[in-house]
Structure 1
Amino acid sequence: MASAPFSPTYDDRRGRLEAYFDRTASKTWERLTSDAPVSGIRATVRAGRNRMRDVLLSWLPINMTGLRLLDAGCGTGALAIEAAQRGAEVVAIDVAASLVHVARDRAPPGLNIDWRVGDMLDADLGWFDHVVAMDSLIHYQAFDIVEVLRNLSDHTDGSLLFTFAPSTKPLALMHAVGKLFPRADRAPAIEPVREQLLRFLIANAMPAARTGRGERVASGFYTSHALEVLPG
């Protein structure tokens, strides 16, 4: 059974994301996360996502044999596959069935990955040594992000690694430009969050936890900030 954050905006935004990736953008994201040629703008997004994935993977053990990892918002599966190749038992979950289908098809045989469609907060997923949520929380408000982290920490012995959209002037400008596109072509809005506010909210909602490493990746139209939370 899923643990629901307090804010009703979480379920609303989650539903929009599911509809967007399954009905509108599945082919776009399949292509973006492949080696196929893409436009200049999308190439910067691809490069940024690849760099961010490398950052998050560098914060995980090289040898993950015997460890259990949750890829919370796995998309097309690149991070889950890498973690499994390091020996981890991986549960990879996403709200978008179309993306999970691509991920399952791309995964090499023999890896210990449990591909699922559903909610990352489902308590039935079990306990984990590490949780990674790469760019799966960037569409949520700060209070929702922290409540998701608090829920995940209840089932995590080790680190929580996640990314958020940092509140910067260039990012705000790109969002304003994005609103000029026809409504049918728009992705669900990204919610810029101030790092200082996020750290403050985490400290208050999770007093036993501490925030660790942080790193920002900026590549053209891609800007995301990684943060490590170590539950107490």
Structure 2
Amino acid sequence: MSDYTATRERVEHYFDRSATKVWDRLTSDAPVSRIRQTVREGRDRMRATMLSRLPADLGGCRVLDAGCGTGAMTEELARRGAEVVAVDISPQLIGIARARLPQTLAPRVTFAAGDMTDAAHGSFDFVMAMDSLIYYSAADIGAVLQRLGKRTRGGIVFTVAPKTPFLMAFFTLGKAFPRADRSPTMIPHAAETIAAHAKGKLRRIERVSRGFYISECLEYQP
């Protein structure tokens, strides 16, 4: 089993069996703890940053929301007029995303549970991958970008956990303890390392740091 496949299966197990309720609440308007509120605010800022890289009018464009989660990015893309293919490894999260999507936007969205790199999803004008690659190695991220890049006419906008002292300490500490819940481990990366594996043009867009949410937006051109 490849590293990518093993990690993907671990992510699926975690989000379908351990974290569904947490993500359902975190991505809703329900009250959350102060720490989770910073994560919610950070994710909102990052989503806006990623969307700023795409045209305001996406009419006629086909966009992949790779790792759509509970569907916030999917809804925004559909509101801009895009035909959206919303893919997530977790069938449970796909169910939440489908239920939350306004019915007026439903004709523009196709939901699918499975591998975001599956060629069966077709070709795209743009790909958005928000926090869906943060558990993978640099080599796996590079391979994903290359696979998607072959079927993407425009850019691939995605996020990674940046290699900050805080996140590196968190990563190192996490490796020192057994993970009984099979939860995946976020892996910090330097953009230069990703670029070396992706073999394309990689551009830094913005780093968002809000409390416990730290993420870096990058843009890949095949």
CA contact (8 A) 2:10 2:182 kept: no
Letter in 2 for 1:163: T
Query: Hey, what's the Cα distance between the residues in 2 that align with 1:220 and 1:11?
Result: 31
Please state if 1:223 is matched with 2:217: no
Q: Give 2:44's aligned residue.
A: 50
The code of the aligned residue for 1:222 comes to Y
Whether the 8 Å CA contact 1:212–1:229 is kept in 2: the answer is yes
Question: Separation in 2 of the partners of 1:88 and 1:44?
Answer: 29
Tell me, in whole angstroms, the C-alpha distance in 2 between the residues paired with 1:214 and 1:190: 20
1:96 maps to 2:96: no
2:103 aligned counterpart, secondary structure: coil
Q: Which amino acid aligns with 1:92?
A: A
Within 5 Å, give how 1:69-218 maps onto structure 2. Answer: 69-111=63-105, 112-176=108-172, 183-184=179-180, 187-202=183-198, 205=199, 209-218=200-209
User: Does 2:51 align with 1:60?
Assistant: no
Task: Report the number of matched residues.
Answer: 220
Alpha-carbon contact 1:174-1:221 (below 8 Å) kept: no
Q: Decide whether aligned partners of structure 1 residues 182 and 213 sit closer, same or farther in structure 2, where only a CA change above 3 A counts.
A: closer
TM-score, reference length from structure 1:
0.90
Q: Where does the alignment leave 5 or more consecutive residues of structure 1 unmatched?
A: 1-6
Instruction: Give the distance between the partners of 1:46 and 1:178, measured in 2 at CA.
Output: 22
Deviations 1:50-69 (A, max 9, x none): 11101001111100000000
Taking every aligned residue pair, what percent have the same amino acid on both sides? 51
Q: Distance in 1 between matches of 2:115 and 2:132?
A: 11
Question: Which residue of 2, 6, 10 maps to 1:12?
Answer: 6
C-alpha separation in 2, matches of 1:181 and 1:226: 29
Do the aligned residues in 2 keep the contact of 1:179 with 1:186 (CA within 8 Å)? no
Does the residue aligned with 1:63 lie in a helix, a strand or coil?
coil
Q: Structure 2: which 5+ residue stretches go unaligned?
A: none
Offset at residue 213 of structure 1 (A) = 4.4
Distance in 1, Cα, partners of 2:41 & 2:175: 24
Alpha-carbon distance change, 47 to 182 in structure 1, aligned in 2, over 3 angstroms: farther
Partner of 1:3: none
C-alpha spacing 1:37/1:177, structure 2 compared with 1 (3 Å): farther
Q: Which residue identity does 1:42 align to in structure 2?
A: R
- TM-score normalised by L of structure 2: 0.94
User: Which residue of structure 2 lines up, in the alignment, with residue 4 of structure 1?
Assistant: none
Give the letter for the 1:132 counterpart. Answer: M
